[in-house]
Structure 1
Amino acid sequence: MTTFTSTISINKPVNEVFNYLADFNNHRQLMPDSIQEWVSSVDDASFSIPNMAKLSLKIDSRVTDEQVVIIPAAKPPFDLKLKWSLSFNNDHTDVVFTIDAELNMMLKMLASGPLQKLADHETQSLKTILS
């Protein structure tokens, strides 16, 4: 597994951050503008990445005020898991977004940069939206 991580702090209570992330409908706002054909519900989403793939994801588990785990709902081009981990410290919430991807050597060379950019983009978008 190759892991991509992005960490931020948001000046909001942990329950507010968790409630936002626990609804997949909100995740469209976290995605880059290049994402197309977004369709979502509270529990799942599908979308396409131009010149790459169409993905279907679902929320696998929610641990209130601690974690949201997202996995593929249909067979992706490579195995992956996305995880939002939350912890509340005094007056802010620390957020860690992790993408675990099973990449062969060729995919690792091609996808590592875009996947790290995606992780960073999603956390920065979350911070902007909730600040």
Structure 2
Amino acid sequence: MNLETKKTIIPRSQKDFFNFLTNLENFEQLMPENKTKFEVDGDSFIFGLKGMPEIRLVIKEKQEFDKIVLGAASSKLNFSLTATITDVTESSCEAQLLFEGDFNPMMAMMVKGPLQKFIDTLTDNASKI
């Protein structure tokens, strides 16, 4: 299952936004309002949203200034969340989130809507920071 957000202009330079995202504590500012838990532990963070199980994300890859890949820490859920960052001007960049998950068809049908809403919220909140 592949999902993506629309490309969004972020009012920060590409380098500044990349550094913002690599500091995992900053993801708390991007989370939806219905967040019930958020804890950073080294190169990973765990978060919970009302009505959903807690999920731990780990930094899997960093491509300096233009790409960050987060993946599930659990082997039970095989997915990644990739942030692509493109330079626009000295003080702005364009970002997009790409979600790739390996789910059975029934699970994919159940999580597609909530996941799309979640990654859209992350992108929308990033444009307001």
In structure 1, the residue matched to 2:86 is: 87
Structure 1 residue 68 and structure 2 residue 79: aligned? no
Check whether the contact 1:23–1:42 (CA below 8 A) recurs between aligned residues: no
Distance in 1 (CA, whole Å) between partners of 2:11 and 2:34 is: 28
TM-score, with normalisation over the residues of structure 2? 0.89
Change (3 A) 1:104 1:125: same
**Secondary structure, counterpart of 2:54 in structure 1:** strand
**Secondary structure, counterpart of 1:53 in structure 2:** coil
Unaligned runs of 5+ in 2: none
Unaligned runs of 5+ in 1: none
Distance in 1 (CA, whole Å) between partners of 2:55 and 2:95 is: 24
In structure 2, the residue matched to 1:46 is: 46
Check whether the contact 2:8–2:96 (CA below 8 A) recurs between aligned residues: yes
Change (3 A) 1:43 1:57: same
After TM superposition, give the deviation of residue 56 of structure 1 in Å. 1.3
After TM superposition, give the deviation of residue 120 of structure 1 in Å. 0.6
After TM superposition, give the deviation of residue 16 of structure 1 in Å. 0.9
Check whether the contact 1:25–1:42 (CA below 8 A) recurs between aligned residues: no
Check whether the contact 2:10–2:128 (CA below 8 A) recurs between aligned residues: no
Figure out how many residues of one structure are paired with residues of the other and give that number: 127
Distance in 1 (CA, whole Å) between partners of 2:123 and 2:101 is: 18
Letter aligned with residue 118 of structure 1: F
TM-score, with normalisation over the residues of structure 1? 0.87
Distance in 1 (CA, whole Å) between partners of 2:17 and 2:83 is: 10
CA RMSD, aligned part only? 1.6
After TM superposition, give the deviation of residue 42 of structure 1 in Å. 5.3
Structure 1 residue 13 and structure 2 residue 47: aligned? no
Check whether the contact 2:60–2:71 (CA below 8 A) recurs between aligned residues: yes
Check whether the contact 1:70–1:81 (CA below 8 A) recurs between aligned residues: yes
After TM superposition, give the deviation of residue 59 of structure 1 in Å. 0.7
